[in-house]
Amino acid sequence: MLTPERLTTYAEEDRIGRLLKDEAQAGDETFTAHRWLQDSPAKRLMYECVYGDLMREDAPRRRVLDVGGGASALTRRLVARHDYTLLELNAHDPAAALRRMEDALRRRFWVEGDWYGYGERGPWDVVVANDLFPNVDQRMAMFLDKFVELAVEIRLSLTYYDEPRFYLARRLEGDEVLCVLAWNGEQTRRVLASYRHRLLTGDGALPSEAVSVFPNGRQVLIAHLRGDAS
């Protein structure tokens, strides 16, 4: 869990904040994920929990699939150190900005699309879904069922709310306005419990009452799971 105590300990060094400054280039503020990392120590803690070892100078080179992770200055570091693919619908940023980053790095790493129909390039050493399930994408069980066969390891940061929170959303392929209710801890725990035997880090028994490190009150659980690929 991301707790105030964990955030206080992380903030003593704030390694992701330092790396973000080191890697930053003009124009990076175009990327929403970059601005979030700049503005939020809690977001940087979450990033450290999911990507931290991948950012190290001595990290072994791995095949990494980053699902819905967005782009930031730290994307350059991941591309330089790994066989890195960003699978991203790109709801927040102009596509041209990501293509310019690819041109500068001389590498095509961005695949525009949804994870559901993707997987031809597996197996992957690490599959990451940071701040995607189950709040933005409620297909958490379907995602795990798919990628547990295609990954050596799956890393998730899972967001839920103890208090009811809902959104009005318009369908892309229709004219309906839907009311989407965010998941609570019980729903998240129920799905994760099916994969408890695969947990490398994290706890399937989520605290029912915890102090949030985010202004909107959301709770975040970090879970690393063992996949079947080798």
Closest CA to 148 of 48, 67, 228: 228
pLDDT along the chain (230 residues), means of 10: 95 98 96 97 98 96 96 97 96 92 97 89 93 96 96 96 92 90 94 92 58 94 93
d(CA 36, CA 20): 11
pLDDT for position 201: 78
pLDDT for position 209: 62
- Three-state secondary structure string covering 61-94: CCEEEEECCCCCHHHHHHHHHCEEEEEECCCCCC
pLDDT for position 203: 52
d(CA 28, CA 9): 28
How many residues are present in the chain? 230
Domains and CATH numbers, the chain: 4-226 (3.40.50.150)
For residue 126, give the H/E element and its range. strand 124-130
pLDDT for position 172: 84
pLDDT for position 127: 98
Q: Which residues pair with 151 in a beta bridge?
A: 124
Q: Supply 146's token pair.
A: 């798919």
Q: Supply 46's token pair.
A: 């979450």
Query: What are the helix (H) ranges across the chain?
Result: 4-11, 15-23, 32-39, 41-51, 73-81, 95-105, 140-147, 185-193
- Cα angle 213, 207, 126 (rounded to 5 degrees) comes to 75
Closest CA to 224 of 203, 193, 194: 203
**pTM of the complete model:** 0.94
Q: Long-range contacts: 181-189, Cβ < 8 Å, 24+? A: 182/135, 183/134, 183/135, 183/138, 184/160, 185/160, 185/219, 187/134, 187/160, 188/134, 188/140, 188/158, 188/160, 188/221
pLDDT for position 173: 84
Q: How far is CA 134 from the centre of its chain?
A: 11
pLDDT for position 207: 52
Residue 21: partners with Cβ closer than 8 Å, 6 or more residues away? none
